[in-house]
Amino acid sequence: MLIPHLHDWPTTEAEALAIQHELVGRVNVSVPLGTIRTLAGCDIAYDTASPKLVAAVVVLDWPSRTVIEKTVVRAEATFPYVPGLLSFRELPALLEAFAQLGHAPDAFMLDAQGVAHPRNFGLACHLGLWLDRPCVGCAKSWLVGDYAAPGPTAGDTSPLTLHGRTLGSVVRSATNAKPVFVSPGHKIDAAGATALVLQSLSGYRHPVPTRLAHMLANEERAKL
DNA sequence: GCGACAG
DNA sequence: ATCTTGTCGC
């Protein structure tokens, strides 16, 4: 898929923060969930004791869940891991993987935060702006926001708020498993992001799209 | 000052 | 994220 250039990559934290502040205003989390015919799951696996990493993308026909395309890209981390600046570390490699895609998925799902971020600009938001397509963040741990524990059964949800505003939701993706934190990244609203994650559950803690991408990334890393 | 901190 | 075996539970 074609990916227009959005901005150059920063070298320092100060530059990264400036980019976030410059782009937050363009994020749109007011779009209702539309018809999704293809959904992409994305993830990255890191090598131990080396800056090498693998970005993986799995495109699924939706809602049949049939895998229709996969892409993996080997790259090297250029930006360090800094809480709140994760996108500057993972996006470059992910964008390379998307560029190799023959399909242009209707929506994307990531193991990261969307607007549930200190500056409301998580990886899912950043990716959404680059691709100009719906992106959903489904993180495995909390970063910001207040919430009450969701019920113990798969599918149970609880709102994730901040300063009285609903950012997303906390979803019990699998019975008796720790919940995941869902928030829209771009071109989708909180309800839509949550609905898409609920449609993606399969008995495991991770939604099908990111679960498959995670497995693919690990397989490729083993070949490093 | 103290605690928290996606992957 | 990553390093790691067995083990408790459905």
CA dist A139 and A130 (Å) reads: 20
Q: Cα A8 vs. chain centroid, distance in angstroms?
A: 21
Structural element, H or E, at residue A123: helix A123-131
Asked whether residue A133 is assigned to any structural domain, the reply reads yes
pLDDT above 90: residue A81: yes
Asked whether residue A14 is assigned to any structural domain, the reply reads no
Which bases of chain C are contacted by protein, using any atom under 7 A from a CB?
1-3
Task: Tell me what pLDDT residue A49 has.
Answer: 86
Residue found by looking up tokens 């609203």 in the block: A189
Asked whether residue A177 is assigned to any structural domain, the reply reads yes
Asked whether residue A10 is assigned to any structural domain, the reply reads no
Mean pLDDT computed over A163-173: 96
Asked whether residue A68 is assigned to any structural domain, the reply reads yes
Name the nucleotide nearest A141; use CA and C1': B6
Asked whether residue A23 is assigned to any structural domain, the reply reads no
Instruction: Write out the residue range of the structural domain in which residue A118 sits.
Output: 32-221
Percent of chain A surpassing pLDDT 70? 100
A101-138, pLDDT tens digit by residue?
999 999 999 999 999 999 999 999 999 999 999 999 99
Q: How far is the CA of A50 from the C1' of C3 (A)?
A: 14
Asked whether residue A7 is assigned to any structural domain, the reply reads no
